[in-house]
Structures are given as structure tokens and as C-alpha cells.
């Protein structure tokens, strides 16, 4: 994923350039690089998704996998720098061979990933990261090597670093941006993971073949001729900053850029309720902005004559990008209330354009167009990528765990403004201009600090309620951490990641959250002593199951520890945290099952989120159900939420021979279900939570409600207009005969919303 970086020589007026147009120097090379960027992002989306499926979507695994991708690109840039210094090597042919190699790897990549995952099932985060790096090192390394190789090639022809970097950076990121929108709108939905990767591989092979054919049909003298230009002033003599400082600035620029992207994704994810395509659209807008910023810098090369002027342009770009970056969030809050979150994408592109312009600008004032251009560019690119990886890690893994999102945005804005302020010392401004610039930067910093509170006021209320938002709307509690955002309304409704996630209620008499479903455990299992529950949310379901008279041990796996903070302050469920029968592990549910292969249970319960949310199919697919099967004791049941999806129901009875639908839940097993209304009645009459009986038969309301609950057992395959009905496995198979089966590859309905 492109970040932000650095740029080239200063005294343009003194540079002799026989070829000034980038397309005259190598227009086809830019076209090839556009079509190289398209499959690169398809790989990233599909490969990361495949690795997350195997290693989990908890923050530790995600961080390790993303870092592996970034490090692969960074190491590859160093390789490209080394190759580019060989004046006698045909750089275009090397680029073509790299594309062919990436394409060949792509065809076998998913099978290799699955083989490696089975070999290292349950590895801790560090080993996960190292393995992910090993899996993606070859293709990402080759991707990272291509920029310095092609820039070096075109500089040999045009002798202009800034033009070459800007054009290639724009072409590659624009191709990646187009890929993001295509993936979000139709590719992932139509093709799934495997065919999307196959399409990307075919594109790499076509690009590689075309590049090789084109390079072999060109005269050698024009193909890779060494520079034939008037010697230029060394960057150390003509640039306002030295190369070492440029490398540092490149890293900081990448840090700020990716940290902003993490902040914006958190906002988008909460606004959209975590739909899969929201990240693709956000990343597409971000990359389109990066490309646009790079293109705009091309207009400055022929108009600016001194390195100092370029330096001032760089400072202005950093200043503007960070101001707009800070305002993206308030702009989003305003738009979701009045129009749509999609209208904030242009604001993200504008902010990203400033961030993207930094790379070619910095290259232009720090790199001379000589035989070392490729290697020097590789150092700037590596610094940018390392900074980007650190920005993702520090903002998403560290800062968001200790600071609210508003404060994280302030920190990033002040860091960017501070960078602009430091660079002022190298701009050689006259005293009045210098003072005015300092005052301007300080004023904007003061604005960011002082006005962040009103600008971010009720941010989560606005993003959740949208056009239903009212000024007096306010959540009762908000928990922000690196795993996500949990909001609770004043009346106890819980929203996790911007979508309904349950209520604080364990009363079966006054059932406001379908709590009858966990109470029904003893209806379809004769003796559920050992129970595993994936997902905690408000703790209401866990409280009910933990107090079932038949349950001896309840193990809970929850991905977000923030729920524990909420549960501790809720009277109805707080005792769950001190219950000696309960154990709570913070982990990804699927990864936990892989890491605890020897554990078996009478029942595995999941009140999972909506089937269309990002990564939801990780807990609904054929592959996951087969994993669950390995953890069930003889006669064990899997009880999970379908959120009314026919595809999810059809998948359940496809994998398991026996089962039924209970309300919107599936109960599946390898053995016939042992249904007993009498056993369930006996358990319900013994049920008590925190010493209070669930049913007090001395009260008419309780007796009437008990009858309503037990009436569910008489509804099997009957057309009854109530929520709590039963449906047999045979009936489900007939009704859902045309439904698609959910797999890890097709990802269910995640990309349909």
C-alpha cells in the first residue's frame, strides 16, 4: 500500500534535459505500471482476507499480517535499488520478469497459504507475523522493487527524477485505486477470493509478457542507454536539505499518512456498520488522492526554478494536508447526518493528495538524476514504507487503546504541523515571511486543539443515527480501544462497531432481546455440562447460560475486551465476571478453536453478528462448521445465529446431517437432536440468576409467560406468525434448495451490502 515519501534535485534551470515529457521518456512504461498496480491491490485484499481467516481478525493478527506486507515492499525496494545501479542491465526486461514471477506465484498463492496455515495452526502472534512475511516476501518484494527499477529506467531517458517519480507513483496508485473500487463494487462479489487472485495473476502475466515483447523489439541504444546529459549539481550542493534528512522526512510522512488512514477507517467502519466494501471504498479514495497529488506535482516542475521554492511548496503541502486531514472527520459527521458518508470520500482524496505530493516533491529536492537515482529512491521508499507500517501500528495498536479517536486525530495533526514547522528552518525565508509562517502554523495548531471538542461533539451518535440524529441524543457509555468502538444507549441497547449488538437484559418474563433462545439450551441437549460461547457482547447470553442448572463450565471467547468494562458496571450481568464456572479468553474465535484442538464441548453457542458484515462468514462458512465439528462431544450441538439468512441456514444443514431452526438460530449436530419439552420445563423451574428465580409461579404473569415460552415446542414446521418457531432440517433443505452455500472463498453475502 503506498504511503507518502520524498523527492529530487533542486536547480531545474541548470538541468539539461533532451526529453522533458514523461511520456516521451517512457509513456508505455507508465501504462504498464498502472496495470501492475491494479492486481497488486487485488492481491492485498484477497491475501490479507485469506490470512485473517486462518490467523484471526483480532488486532494482534491483523497488525502482524499488515506489517508483513509492508516489510515485504520495503525490502523489495532495497533490492530494486541495487538492481537499478547496474548500468548494463536491461531494466525493462527485469520489470517484465518480475511481473511474470508475481503472476505465477499468484496462481498458487492461496493453496500455499492454506498449506502453511495447517502446518502452523495456532501459532502465537510473532510466529504468525514471521510466517506471513515468509508467505508474501517474494511477491511483495518484487512489487516493491519495481518502482526504483522503472524510475531509474526513465531517468536514463528524461534525466528528471521528480517527473519520473511522480508519474510512476501516480500510475501505480491510480491502478490500485481503480482496483479497490472494482473489488468493492463487483469483483469480490462475483468472483470470490480464488478467482479474484486468478484474475490478478493473469493481469501480471499479461503485463510481463507485453513488457518483454516491447523491450525486445526496441533498439538497444534507445532501450536502456546510460544517461547522456550534462552533469548536474549534486543534491548535497543544490538541495536545501541533505539526503539523510530527506529519508527521515519520508518516514514521518509515511507514518502520518497511514495513521490518518487508520483513523478514517475506524470512522468509516462505525458509520457503515462494518460492511466489507467500506474499506475498499476508503482505500480507493485514499489511493486516488495519492495519485492525484503526484500528478499535480508534475505541473510544478517546469514552473519552479529553485530548490528553495520547491522546499516552500513541500512545507505548504504538508501544512495543507494535515489541516484537511484533521477536518475529514468533522466533515464526515456533518455529511452522514444530512446526505451520505460516501460524500466524504472526496475530502479523504483531497487530504491524501497533499500526502501523496510529498513523495515526488521530496525526491525532487534530494536526489540527483545520476546512476544512483534508483538506489537513493529505494532508501526513501523504504523509509516511507517503514514509517507507514509504524503509523499503522502506533495509531491502531497503541494510541487507540489509550486515547479517544478525537485525541488521536489531534496528535496526528500536531505531528504534521510540527513537521512543517521544523522544515521552515530550511526554507531560508525572509524574517517577515518566516514570522508569518510560524504564526500561521501555530494558529492552526491552536485551532485543532481548541475546536476539536465542538467539531467532534456527539461524533458516534451522528455516525450511528445519521439522518435520525437529534442534538440531544447522547450515548450512555462509549468504550474505545484498539479492537473497536462499543456504544450503549441510555436504555441499555449495545452497538458494537456501529451495529446492533444486544441489550442488557436477562429476564425471560420481560424478554426484550430474544433471551428465550439461550434459555432453550436444555430443550435440545439433554445435559449441556461443558459449553463454549464465542462472542460476549453485553454478557446477557453468557449470564443466562452460566446460570443454567445443568452447565458446569462455560468458556467464553471474545475478541474485544472493551465489553468487560461495560459488563462490570451493569447490575444484571456484572456477577458473570466473578462466576467460578466462567472463564473468559480474549481472542479471535476461529483462531482460538484452532489453538485448542483438544477441547471438546457439549454445546458451542454463538450469537454472531449480521451475516453481511465484514469477516462474519469466518464464523458461518463450511470450513468453520467443519472446524466446530472437531470440538463437539458425541451428541454435541452447535447453536448459532443466522440473522435470518437462508444461505447460512442452508450451509448448516449441508455440513451437519441433523439440525433445526429455532427462531433465527440454527441447532446442528452429527447425531439426532434429543428434544424434550418436559426436560426443558424442569430446568426452567430450577433456573435462578443471582439468587432470583427466573419464574415465580405464584405470579400470574410468570405462569402465563412460562406457557408462552413452552408453546414454541409445538411449532415444528408449522406456519405460525410468531418469531419463536421451529423448523426441521428436512424442511430447511427443501425451502433453501437454491441458496448458495457459504464458504471461505465466496465469503457469503459480505460484499453484497
Write down the pLDDT at residue 7: 33
What average pLDDT score do residues 56-83 get?
A: 84
Most confidently modeled range among 29-38, 107-116, 166-175, 659-668: 659-668
The CA distance from 350 to 496, in Å, is: 30
**8-12, 288-292, 529-533, 708-712, range with the lowest pLDDT:** 8-12
Residue 571: pLDDT above 90?
yes
For the cut 50, the answer to whether the pLDDT of residue 230 exceeds it is: no
For range 534-546, the mean pLDDT: 97
Question: Please, are residues 523 and 516 in contact by the beta-carbon 8 Å criterion?
Answer: no
Residue 683 host element (H or E):
helix 677-686
pLDDT at 221 over 50: no
Query: What does the DSSP 8-state code read for residue 619?
Result: G
| Angle ∠(272,274,276) on CA atoms, nearest 5 | 105
pTM for this structure?
A: 0.90
Burial class (CB in 10 A: 0-12, 13-18, 19+), 45: buried
Q: What pLDDT score does 153 carry?
A: 80
Q: Report the C-alpha dihedral over residues 402, 256, 278, 288, rounded to 10 degrees.
A: 180
Q: Which pLDDT does position 11 carry in this prediction?
A: 35
Q: Give the model's pLDDT for residue 239.
A: 63
% of the chain with per-residue pLDDT over 70:
91
Q: What is the pLDDT of residue 12?
A: 33
> Each residue of 340-353: pLDDT tens digit?
888 888 889 998 99
Give me the pLDDT at residue 665, please: 98
pLDDT above 80 for 41:
yes
Per-residue pLDDT, 125: 65
Confidence of residue 241 (pLDDT cuts 50, 70, 90): confident
CA distances from 440 to 51, 319, 433, 434 (A): 46, 10, 10, 10
Q: Which three cell numbers stand for residue 365?
A: 529536492
How far, in Å, CA of 412 to CA of 256, rounded? 6
At 218 the pLDDT is 62
Per-residue model confidence as pLDDT tens digits over 515-524 = 999 999 999 9
pLDDT digits (tens, 9 = 90+) for 677-700: 999 999 999 999 999 999 999 999
Q: Quick one: cell of 458?
A: 456527539
Residue 748: its pLDDT value, please? 94
Concatenate the DSSP letters of all residues of 110-149 into one string. HHHHHHHHHHTTT--HHHHHHHHHHHHHHHHHHHHHHHHH
User: In the predicted model, what is the mean pLDDT of residues 591-602?
Assistant: 92
Predicted pLDDT at 25: 43
117 pLDDT above the threshold of 60 = yes
The predicted-structure confidence for 644-659, as pLDDT tens digits, reads as follows: 999 999 999 999 999 9
User: Which pLDDT does position 138 carry in this prediction?
Assistant: 93
Strands 582-586 and 632-641: unpaired
Task: Check pLDDT > 80 for residue 263.
Answer: yes
**pLDDT score recorded for residue 24:** 43
Closest C-alpha among 635, 673, 658, 663 to residue 720 = 663
pLDDT at site 227? 41
Interval 129-152: pLDDT, tens: 677 788 889 999 999 999 888 888
Domains identified in the chain and CATH numbers: 20-227 (1.20.1250.20), 238-474 (1.20.1250.20), 516-735 (3.40.50.150)
More confident residue, 126 or 582: 582
Average pLDDT, stretch 69-92? 86
Contact 40, 334 (CB under 8 A): no
Q: 561 falls in which pLDDT band (50, 70, 90)?
A: very high
Least trusted range by pLDDT, from 208-212, 226-230, 634-638, 639-643: 226-230
Mean pLDDT across the stretch 235-245? 67
Question: In this predicted model, which residue has the larger pLDDT, 429 or 675?
Answer: 675
- DSSP readout, 187-219? IHHHHHHHHHHHHHHHHHHHHHHHHHHHHHTS-
> What was the pLDDT predicted at 122?
63
Q: Does the pLDDT value for residue 604 go beyond 70?
A: yes
Mean of all residue pLDDT scores within the chain:
88
pLDDT band at 553 (very low <50, low <70, confident <90, very high): very high
Output the pLDDT for position 158: 66
Q: What's the pLDDT band for 8 if we cut at 50, 70, 90?
A: very low
pLDDT score recorded for residue 446? 97
pLDDT at residue 90 in the model: 85
Give the pLDDT confidence score for residue 154 in this predicted structure.
80
Express each pLDDT in 450-489 by its tens digit.
Answer: 999 999 999 999 999 999 999 888 999 999 999 999 999 9
- Residue 250 backbone dihedrals phi, psi, to 5 degrees: -60, -45
Amino acid at each position: 500500500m503506498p504511503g507518502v515519501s520524498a523527492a529530487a534535485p533542486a536547480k531545474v534551470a541548470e538541468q539539461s534535459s533532451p526529453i522533458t515529457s514523461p511520456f516521451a521518456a517512457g509513456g508505455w512504461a507508465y501504462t504498464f505500471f498502472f496495470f501492475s498496480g491494479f492486481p497488486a491491490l487485488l492481491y492485498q485484499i484477497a491475501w490479507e482476507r485469506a490470512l485473517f481467516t486462518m490467523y484471526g481478525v483480532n488486532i494482534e493478527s491483523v497488525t502482524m499480517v499488515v506489517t508483513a506486507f509492508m516489510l515485504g515492499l520495503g525490502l523489495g525496494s532495497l533490492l530494486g535499488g541495487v538492481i537499478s545501479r547496474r548500468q548494463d542491465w536491461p531494466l525493462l526486461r527485469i520489470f517484465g520478469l518480475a511481473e511474470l514471477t508475481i503472476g505465477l506465484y499468484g496462481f498458487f498463492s492461496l493453496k500455499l497459504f492454506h498449506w502453511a496455515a495447517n502446518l502452523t495452526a495456532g501459532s502465537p502472534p510473532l510466529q504468525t507475523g514471521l510466517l506471513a512475511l515468509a508467505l508474501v516476501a517474494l511477491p511483495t518484494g518484487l512489487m516493491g522493487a519495481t518502482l526504483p527499477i522503472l524510475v531509474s529506467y526513465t531517468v536514463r531517458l528524461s534525466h528528471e527524477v521528480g517527473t519520473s517519480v511522480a508519474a510512476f507513483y501516480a500510475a501505480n496508485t491510480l491502478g490500485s485505486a481503480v482496483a479497490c473500487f472494482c473489488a468493492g463494487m463487483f469483483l469480490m462479489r462475483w468472483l470470490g477470493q480464488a478467482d479474484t487472485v486468478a484474475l490478478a495473476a493473469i493481469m501480471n502475466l499479461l503485463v510481463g509478457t507485453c513488457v518483454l515483447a516491447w523491450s525486445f523489439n526496441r533498439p538497444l541504444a534507445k532501450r536502456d542507454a546510460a544517461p547522456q546529459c550534462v552533469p548536474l549539481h549534486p543534491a548535497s550542493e543544490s538541495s536545501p536539505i541533505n539526503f539523510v534528512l530527506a529519508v527521515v522526512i519520508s518516514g514521518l510522512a509515511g507514518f502520518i499518512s497511514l495513521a490518518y488512514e487508520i483513523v478514517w477507517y475506524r470512522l468509516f467502519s462505525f458509520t457503515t456498520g462494518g460492511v466489507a466494501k467500506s474499506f475498499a471504498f476508503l482505500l480507493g479514495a485514499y489511493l486516488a488522492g495519492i495519485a492525484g497529488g503526484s500528478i499535480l506535482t508534475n505541473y510544478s516542475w517546469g514552473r519552479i526554478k529553485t530548490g528553495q521554492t520547491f522546499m516552500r511548496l513541500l512545507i505548504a503541502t504538508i501544512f495543507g494536508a494535515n489541516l484537511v486531514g484533521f477536518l475529514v472527520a468533522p466533515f464526515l459527521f456533518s455529511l452522514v447526518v444530512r446526505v451520505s458518508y460516501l460524500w466524504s470520500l472526496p475530502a479523504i482524496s483531497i487530504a491524501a493528495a497533499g500526502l501523496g505530493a510529498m513523495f515526488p516533491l521530496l525526491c525532487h529536492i534530494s536526489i540527483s538524476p545520476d546512476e544512483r537515482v534508483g538506489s537513493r529512491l529505494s532508501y526513501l521508499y523504504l523509509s516511507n514504507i517503514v514509517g507507514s507500517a509504524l503509523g499503522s501500528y502506533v495509531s491502531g495498536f497503541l494510541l487507540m487503546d489509550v486515547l479517544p479517536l478525537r485525541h488521536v486525530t489531534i496528535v496526528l495533526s500536531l505531528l504534521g504541523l510540527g513537521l512543517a514547522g521544523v522544515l521552515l528552518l530550511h526554507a531560508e525565508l525572509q524574517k517577515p515571511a518566516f514570522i508569518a509562517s510560524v504564526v500561521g502554523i501555530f494558529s492552526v495548531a491552536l485551532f485543532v486543539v481548541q475546536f476539536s471538542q465542538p467539531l467532534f461533539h456527539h461524533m458516534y451518535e451522528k455516525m450511528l443515527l445519521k439522518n435520525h440524529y437529534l442534538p440531544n441524543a447522547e450515548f450512555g457509555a462509549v468504550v474505545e480501544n484498539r479492537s473497536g468502538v462499543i456504544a450503549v444507549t441510555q436504555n441499555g441497547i449495545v452497538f458494537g462497531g456501529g451495529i446492533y449488538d444486544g441489550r442488557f437484559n436477562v429476564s425471560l418474563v420481560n424478554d426484550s432481546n430474544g433471551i428465550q433462545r439461550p434459555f432453550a439450551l436444555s430443550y435440545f441437549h439433554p445435559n449441556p455440562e461443558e459449553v463454549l460461547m464465542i462472542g460476549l457482547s453485553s454478557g446477557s447470553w453468557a449470564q443466562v447460560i452460566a446460570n443454567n442448572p445443568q452447565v458446569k463450565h462455560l468458556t467464553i471467547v471474545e475478541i474485544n475486551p472493551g465489553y468487560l468494562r461495560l459488563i462490570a458496571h451493569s447490575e444484571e450481568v456484572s456477577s458473570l465476571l466473578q462466576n467460578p464456572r466462567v472463564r473468559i479468553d480474549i481472542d479471535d474465535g476461529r483462531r482460538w478453536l484452532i489453538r485448542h484442538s483438544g477441547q471438546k464441548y457439549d454445546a458451542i453457542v454463538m450469537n454472531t453478528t449480521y451475516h453481511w458484515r465484514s469477516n462474519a462468514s469466518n464464523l458461518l462458512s463450511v470450513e468453520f462448521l467443519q472446524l466446530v465439528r472437531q470440538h463437539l462431544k458425541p451428541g454435541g450441538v452447535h447453536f448459532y445465529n443466522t440473522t435470518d439468512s437462508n444461505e447460512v441456514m442452508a450451509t448448516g444443514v449441508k455440513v451437519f446431517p441433523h439440525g433445526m431452526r429455532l427462531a433465527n438460530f440454527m441447532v446442528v449436530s452429527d447425531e439426532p437432536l434429543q428434544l424434550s419439552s418436559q426436560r426443558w420445563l424442569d430446568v426452567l423451574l430450577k433456573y435462578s440468576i443471582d439468587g432470583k428465580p427466573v419464574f415465580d409461579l405464584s405470579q400470574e404473569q410468570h405462569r402465563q409467560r412460562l406457557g408462552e415460552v413452552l408453546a414454541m415446542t409445538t411449532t415444528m414446521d408449522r406456519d405460525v406468525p410468531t418469531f419463536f418457531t421451529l423448523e426441521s432440517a428436512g424442511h430447511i433443505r427443501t425451502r433453501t434448495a437454491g441458496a448458495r452455500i457459504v464458504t471461505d472463498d465466496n465469503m457469503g453475502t459480505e460484499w453484497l451490502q
